[in-house]
Amino acid sequence: MSTQNDELRSVINRYSSMLYKICFLILKNEQDTDDVLQETFLAYYTKKPAFNSEEHKKAWLIRVSQNKCREFLRFHKRHERVSLEEMEEKLLITDGLRGDERYLLSVIWNMDYKLKSVVILHYIEGYSTEETAVILKISSAAVRKRLQRAREELKTELKGVPDYE
Amino acid sequence: MNKDYNKLLNNIDITEEKKQELYENCIRSKHAGDFLFRYSQPLCILIAAAVFMLTGIGATAAVLSVKDRMESMSEEEYNDYAYEVENDTFVSVDEGFSRELRDSEILRIIELERDYYDNGVFPVNTVPHLQTAAEREEDQLAYVAEDNLLYLPEKDMDDEQILEYIDHDAKKWYLNSQALMEEGFDVGTSPDLTYDSTEIAEGSGEQKARDAGEKLLKDIYGVDINADKNWIVLVEFFEGEEGITEDLYQLDIYKKGTGYADSYQLRLRAEDMSPILINLAGYERELRAKRFSTAEADAMNDSAYESAVSFAGEYLGLGTPEDYRFEEDFGATADGEAFKYLILKYGDKSVYFGIKLEDMKVIMCHVMRSGT
């Protein structure tokens, strides 16, 4: 059991930061993000899945956390989604960002789940469309379509913002 | 779109304290379970037991006929269920339905589940998988892909529909468990996935835990798990983590063919096999329990307290508590209260009790130390 506990600690140390960023951006509040991460790592700890590689493990953790985010958004509605402006009052979330970068973050912040999830996985985590499709359990075509819609949305929203046209 | 997106999230990060909390909570949850949550959503836990009956060494002929039924699904039906399972993102079972199951239906499900799993009583038809809700006939039990819902008839389901429901559930779990195993889940002692009692070596700690658990169940509830071969007893050892938990054995005890019916969970301290947790779970117990108005229930507080103290004395070796409190607004439904929940305090130890008001029996007892 100690080996399993060591493994759990190592996985939390390695992946919690990445999962926290993704889930926070999707759920838009700290408490739900904490809950999703807790449930994700608990699933990892109790299910004891076997992985072919570290990448496989990372993708599994993202997939589980994404499923849980979706459940939270759909059913729980436990905590209000907070606007970026309100969040900025509580946390130093945009400190150090240029104005255009802050604006880009606010556009992603306000996207709906379907677009936001592919944007995060593809652009922020660097997964290919095929890998994103596997993680989200949707088709590659759906990922490409969502990315296209996301790009259109970003383009429209960022029109006039220097460096983002 | 070649911007440095990672920079956008530089300030969003988890603290070291939260990482430590995640770690400790995982270990605590695995060991202690979140019983308040489990009680509030019994369906999502208990329906999982249905998967027990699907296969396994020592299974009865009727159980094997269920397995045969699963394995003989047509390719089309299998694919329909694969689609449904793959799109299943629901937190609890009810959220995947067009309406909640009614209590009367659940009680009938419990009866017919026994027929389905133990006696091979199957429905004449199977639940159709439709693309759109428009294809569904009035009061038809059907899965509709476009909104990923199992549509129940507005009127109460009749016996054929309830058997179809049980069949649908069994097939879904069959595919679900297969998919999980293909993903490499260790099914060894997972109640959701294993089908047989834990194999135990003579004279081992597991054997002692099983013996102690058997005795507790017989003494407290009059249940003899050796008298019926359909009981499944899972025994798992957990090594403690200093300052978080101690070494313990967990026993999960279910009966084949009764997904919604009573089951038991025990946690025993490895050092002396004394109980840390005794839990009688099950939708059947909840639904069949007599309910009382709030005033009637409150008038029973003294009796509930006495029952808890007496139980603590008999099975935990504890005396009169230093303090106690009742959990407010917990366990009450629109139909009234069937249970009272209270906490007895003993120094650094708290004992959480659930008491069935009808007969003042303890349905749950959980020993917790502060900080654990």
Here the CATH number for the domain that contains residue A47 is 1.10.1740
Contact residues, chain B to chain A, C-beta under 8 Å: 1, 3, 5-14, 18-19, 22-23, 25-27, 29-30, 86, 89-91, 95, 180, 183-186, 190, 237-239, 241
> Given an 8 Å threshold on Cβ–Cβ distance, is A49 in contact with B183?
yes
User: Would you say residue B350 has pLDDT above 70?
Assistant: yes
Mean pLDDT, chain A, integer: 81
List CB contacts (< 8 A) between A121 and chain B: none
Confidence of residue A109 (pLDDT cuts 50, 70, 90): confident
The residues, any chain, with a CB within 8 Å of residue B165's CB and separated by 6 or more, are B109, B127, B141, B152, B157
> Given an 8 Å threshold on Cβ–Cβ distance, is B29 in contact with A93?
no
User: Would you say residue B16 has pLDDT above 70?
Assistant: yes
A71 shares its domain with A107: no
**Alpha carbon distance B303, B177 (integer Å):** 44
Check residue A163 and give its pLDDT. 59
List CB contacts (< 8 A) between B30 and chain A: 42, 45-46
Span of A3-12, B13-22, B206-215, B268-277 with lowest mean pLDDT: A3-12
Position B116, amino acid:
Y
The pair of three-digit structure tokens given for residue B213, joined into one six-digit string: 């658990």
User: Would you say residue B284 has pLDDT above 90?
Assistant: no
A24 shares its domain with A102: no
Chain CA centroid to CA A91, Å: 18
Query: Considering only CA atoms, which of B271, B281, B307, B294 is closest in space to residue B43?
Result: B281
User: Residue B57 carries which DSSP code?
Assistant: T
Chain A nearest-CA distance from B298, in A, is: 30
Query: For chain A, how many structural domains are there in total?
Result: 2
**Contact (Cβ atoms closer than 8 angstroms) between residue B289 and residue B271:** no
Tens of pLDDT, residues A143-156:
888 898 888 888 88
Of A57, A79, A101, the residue at which a domain comes to its end is A79
**Alpha carbon distance A106, A94 (integer Å):** 10
Q: Which of A52-66, A101-115, B277-291, B347-361 has the highest mean pLDDT?
A: B347-361
* CA–CA distances in Å: residue B252 to residues B93, B208, B237, B268, B281: 21, 15, 12, 12, 11
B134 shares its domain with B214: no
List CB contacts (< 8 A) between B16 and chain A: none
B161 shares its domain with B209: no
Helix (H) / strand (E) element for B252: namely strand B248-255
Chain A nearest-CA distance from B346, in A, is: 30
Q: Which of B89-103, B255-269, B273-287, B339-353 has the highest mean pLDDT?
A: B339-353
Check residue B228 and give its pLDDT. 76
List CB contacts (< 8 A) between B239 and chain A: 1-2
**Contact (Cβ atoms closer than 8 angstroms) between residue B53 and residue B257:** yes
Residue B145 in any domain: the answer is yes
B247 shares its domain with B163: no
Query: Considering only CA atoms, which of A105, A102, A130, A106 is closest in space to residue A118?
Result: A130
**Alpha carbon distance A10, A22 (integer Å):** 19
Residue in chain A lying closest to B192 (CA): A47
Q: Could you give phi then psi for residue B351, rounded to 5 degrees?
A: -120, 120
**Alpha carbon distance B12, A20 (integer Å):** 8
Residue B78 in any domain: the answer is yes
Structure-model confidence comparison of residues B148 and A2, the more confident one: B148
Give the CA count within 13 Å in the CB-facing half-sphere of B160. 8
Chain A nearest-CA distance from B300, in A, is: 34
A57 shares its domain with A45: yes
Mean pLDDT, chain B, integer: 78
The pair of three-digit structure tokens given for residue A64, joined into one six-digit string: 């589980």
B178 shares its domain with B194: no
**Alpha carbon distance B34, B71 (integer Å):** 35
**Structural domain span for residue B357:** 190-369
**Contact (Cβ atoms closer than 8 angstroms) between residue A141 and residue A132:** no
Chain B nearest-CA distance from A164, in A, is: 8
Of B165, B182, B199, the residue at which a domain comes to its end is B182
Query: Considering only CA atoms, which of B43, B48, B51, B44 is closest in space to residue B174?
Result: B51
A96 shares its domain with A162: yes
Check residue B318 and give its pLDDT. 94
Check residue A162 and give its pLDDT. 59
B361 shares its domain with B225: yes
CA angle B365, B366, B370 (to 5 degrees): 145
Query: For chain B, how many structural domains are there in total?
Result: 2
B55 shares its domain with B171: yes
**Structural domain span for residue A27:** 1-79
Check residue B232 and give its pLDDT. 83
A1 shares its domain with A70: yes
Residue B31 in any domain: the answer is no
**Alpha carbon distance B26, B33 (integer Å):** 10
The pair of three-digit structure tokens given for residue A146, joined into one six-digit string: 């969502």
Q: Give the pLDDT mean for B356-364.
A: 92
Check residue B30 and give its pLDDT. 54
Structure-model confidence comparison of residues A157 and A148, the more confident one: A148
Confidence of residue B130 (pLDDT cuts 50, 70, 90): very high
Of A51, A79, A107, the residue at which a domain comes to its end is A79
Of B148, B165, B182, the residue at which a domain comes to its end is B182
Check residue B2 and give its pLDDT. 46
Span of A34-38, A48-52, B15-19 with lowest mean pLDDT: A48-52
Task: Calculate what percentage of chain B has a pLDDT beyond 70.
Answer: 72
B213 shares its domain with B345: yes
User: Would you say residue A98 has pLDDT above 70?
Assistant: yes
User: Would you say residue B201 has pLDDT above 50?
Assistant: yes
Structure-model confidence comparison of residues B193 and B79, the more confident one: B79
Strand-pairing partners, residue B332, are B337
B122 shares its domain with B210: no
The residues, any chain, with a CB within 8 Å of residue B6's CB and separated by 6 or more, are A124
Residue in chain B lying closest to A76 (CA): B91
Query: Considering only CA atoms, which of A13, A120, A117, A30 is closest in space to residue A70?
Result: A117
Of B158, B182, B206, the residue at which a domain comes to its end is B182
In this prediction the ipTM stands at 0.86
A70 shares its domain with A116: no
Tens of pLDDT, residues B210-269:
999 999 999 999 999 888 777 888 888 887 766 667 788 988 888 655 555 678 889 899
Residue B221 in any domain: the answer is yes
Check residue B287 and give its pLDDT. 67
Q: Which of B129-143, B239-253, B317-331 has the highest mean pLDDT?
A: B129-143
Query: Considering only CA atoms, which of B143, B129, B124, B112 is closest in space to residue B50?
Result: B112
DSSP secondary structure, B174-207, as one string: HHHHHHHHHTT---TT-TTT--SPPP--TTSHHH
The residues, any chain, with a CB within 8 Å of residue B49's CB and separated by 6 or more, are B191, B254, B258, B259, B263
Structure-model confidence comparison of residues B231 and B274, the more confident one: B274
**Contact (Cβ atoms closer than 8 angstroms) between residue A15 and residue A55:** no
A100 shares its domain with A124: yes
B229 shares its domain with B165: no
Task: Calculate what percentage of chain B has a pLDDT beyond 90.
Answer: 31
B256 shares its domain with B337: yes
User: Would you say residue B349 has pLDDT above 70?
Assistant: yes
Return the number of other C-beta atoms located less than 10 Å from residue A9's C-beta: 16
Q: Give the pLDDT mean for A85-90.
A: 72
A54 shares its domain with A99: no
CATH number at residue A115: 1.10.10.10
Confidence of residue B44 (pLDDT cuts 50, 70, 90): very low
Q: Give the pLDDT mean for B336-346.
A: 89
B358 shares its domain with B235: yes
B220 shares its domain with B342: yes
Structure-model confidence comparison of residues B180 and B25, the more confident one: B25
Of A49, A79, A109, the residue at which a domain comes to its end is A79
Check residue A160 and give its pLDDT. 67
Span of B126-140, B166-180, B260-274 with lowest mean pLDDT: B166-180
**Alpha carbon distance B129, B368 (integer Å):** 47
Chain B nearest-CA distance from A145, in A, is: 16
Q: Which of B56-60, B82-86, B107-111 has the highest mean pLDDT?
A: B107-111
A14 shares its domain with A74: yes
> Given an 8 Å threshold on Cβ–Cβ distance, is A21 in contact with B25?
no
